[in-house]
Amino acid sequence: MVMAIVVGAATGLGAVAFRWLIQAATKIFTGTSDYSAVGLGQHPPHPWLPWLGAGFVVLAPVVGGLIYGPMVQRWAKEARGHGVPEVMLAVSQKGGRIPGKVAVVKALASALTIGSGGSVGREGPIVQIGSALGSRIAQTARLSETRVRTLVACGAASGIAATFNAPIAGVFFALELLLRDFQAESFGVVVLAAVVASVIGRAILGDVPFLELPSFELPHAGSFVLVALLGVLAGVIGVIFTRTLYAFEDVADKIWRGPEWARPAVGGVLLGLLLLAIPQMYGVGYPVLEAGVQGQYAIAVLLGLLIAKVVATSLTIAIGGSGGVFAPSLFIGGMLGAAFGASVHEAFPGWAGPAGAYALIGMGAVFAGAARAPITAVLILFELTGEYTIILPMMLAIVLATGVSRALSRDSVYTLKIRRRGIEMDARAADPRMTEKTVGDIMEAAPTALAPDVALEIAARRLLGSGRGSLPVVEDGMLIGQVRADRIAAAIEDEDTTALSVRDVLDDVPQARTETVLRRGMEALRRHEYPDGGLAVTDGAGTLVGWVTHRTLLRTLTAPLPIAASAPAGTALARLRPSLRGGGSRMGTSASRRQRT
């Protein structure tokens, strides 16, 4: 709980700093607080560079790309893209471990991307920033892998809570998308972190929602039929947005043959030309979204903005920009819902209700269709509007959009990126012993090591006497490799061994540090071309401190699950505990005999 408070406070301050970075970058690149707020058909010049006229928007993405492209390539490639898939991958495959430098690089790269015209959102970056902070704090405190993952979720929830003034949605975003479970312990600490971050955000940024939306309601029960139709359309649009996003990325990967650091700058020319044609696509575009929800655009304009946003966001991500897809999905849904609402209001003026209500519903439905996070979608729109009357139609549309999305596509906008790397997100969870235990917890004493200058014949006799297939080789107290029986045998058969030493047949050895979780230790062992000898265990200085054999691993994996040791007293499981441990009963005695045999 103390660590959750620390993560919430750090992420809350980080979210405020990130908001300021975006505002500063936008001011530098455009001379305005938000260039997307310009009226239709207007192209105001940069006040500091009036001689460029409207053409400065073509140069802005190029200059921005020249700055953040090399930065991302040099220090944190994980900062490229929309961020949330990288966090999901870290939680599911890496024990929640995220390098601390990702937070800094992601903040700078995303601020530059958005400030220089990238048509992306700030939720993906702040999720990755908060998650990196949580992971770094947890690793510094040397917490277990389960708690590292929990603090990663705390950072993600805190980022959403502080940035969007939506603490409830932040909590469920982290639980629904990152941890993918709702355990009581996780829920409690994630809520605590989100509350702390939200308090800090409200104290500095003010207690106002990030979108100023009017209140709407649907007065007629027949409106639910129209809402259901909108939900189906939103699910389709969510899938189209997802596929377009990755189609643009595939095309860019096939076309681009230059260095990756230059890709954002070169691709920025295309993005700049799009912004020259439609300046409303500059940056996140919240002013445009508010205007669309309030009914200030005609149906044709709304549909044009919808298509333009899909293209602009896909292009920004494809050229290597850094930013989220949450805000673009809200934008696309808002334009779809406003156009749909305006159409049905003209067709059924008596009971269709105001067009703005459909815009709000469309925002949540398209996000749900793209991200497959229906709980988060409902809650964040509720926190934005504060209107309970629109919750029921919104829930209907979001559920239908999620169902249609699942029927049309296997993956969401987040999980598709992970699956394209060959990783299955919905695979069965690993044995808890593989993630809770470290290599140091199960290691045995290391075998007697050899020096690299020992004669090969002496090494062969020691190896035969050890009964092992290999022995470690240590020089000046540091592990430098291993000597294997098969390599000694090959050397003895082919050469005169009198002049040979251990150094002549030295082989590298699979190794892991004492704090490495058991799952990663097994992966290191499995990847080695000669895993039969076992896994060498070293401390932080590289000194050999232990050894893990296959027998050790088998003993660990066949031991009773931790749940047996923590069963409440008096339960049937507790009464069986002595038997499971191999003692205190006839079953335990026979098990012990079998084990000795």
Please, how many CA atoms are within 13 Å of residue 115, restricted to the half-sphere of its CB?
25
* pLDDT over 80 (residue 587): no
Token digits of residue 573: 């499981």
Whether residue 15 is found in the same domain as residue 146: yes
User: pLDDT of 162-181, one tens digit each?
Assistant: 887 888 888 888 888 877 76
User: pLDDT of 306-358, one tens digit each?
Assistant: 999 999 999 999 998 988 888 899 999 999 999 999 998 888 877 777 788 88
Whether residue 122 is found in the same domain as residue 72: yes
Distance CA 341, CA 299 (A): 9
Select from 80, 85, 76, 211 the least CA-distant residue to 156: 85
State the first-to-last Cα distance of the chain, in angstroms, to the nearest integer: 48
What is the average pLDDT across 490-517? 77
Distance CA 587, CA 335 (A): 68
CB 555 within 8 A of CB 443: no
Whether residue 237 is found in the same domain as residue 363: yes
Residue 47: which CATH number?
Answer: 1.10.3080.10
pLDDT value for 214: 67
Distance CA 340, CA 229 (A): 10
* pLDDT over 50 (residue 47): yes
Select from 92, 89, 88, 90 the least CA-distant residue to 430: 92
Amino acid found at 181: D
CB 24 within 8 A of CB 32: no
pLDDT value for 384: 74
User: pLDDT of 64-97, one tens digit each?
Assistant: 999 999 998 888 887 787 778 888 877 877 777 8
Whether residue 443 is found in the same domain as residue 388: no
Residue 525: which CATH number?
Answer: 3.10.580.10
CB 163 within 8 A of CB 132: no
Whether residue 345 is found in the same domain as residue 303: yes
Whether residue 240 is found in the same domain as residue 304: yes
Select from 151, 190, 193, 150 the least CA-distant residue to 172: 190
Whether residue 468 is found in the same domain as residue 320: no
Amino acid found at 559: A
Pairing outcome for strands 535-538 and 511-513:
parallel
Whether residue 122 is found in the same domain as residue 237: no
Q: Is 475 exposed, middle or buried (0-12, 13-18, 19+ CB in 10 A)?
A: middle
pTM: 0.71
Whether residue 242 is found in the same domain as residue 197: no
Handedness of CA 112, 115, 118, 123 (dihedral sign): positive
Number of domains the chain contains: 4
Provide the domain limits for residue 585: 562-596
Distance CA 316, CA 245 (A): 9
Give me the torsion for CA of 127, 524, 429, 552, rounded to 10°: -140
CB 174 within 8 A of CB 156: yes
Residue 217 placed within a domain: no
Select from 412, 419, 435, 337 the least CA-distant residue to 173: 412
Whether residue 161 is found in the same domain as residue 120: yes
User: 103 versus 111: which is more confidently predicted?
Assistant: 111
What is the average pLDDT across 391-411? 91
Give me the helices (H) in 260-298, please.
263-277, 286-293
User: pLDDT of 505-528, one tens digit each?
Assistant: 888 888 888 877 777 777 777 777
What is the average pLDDT across 257-265? 89
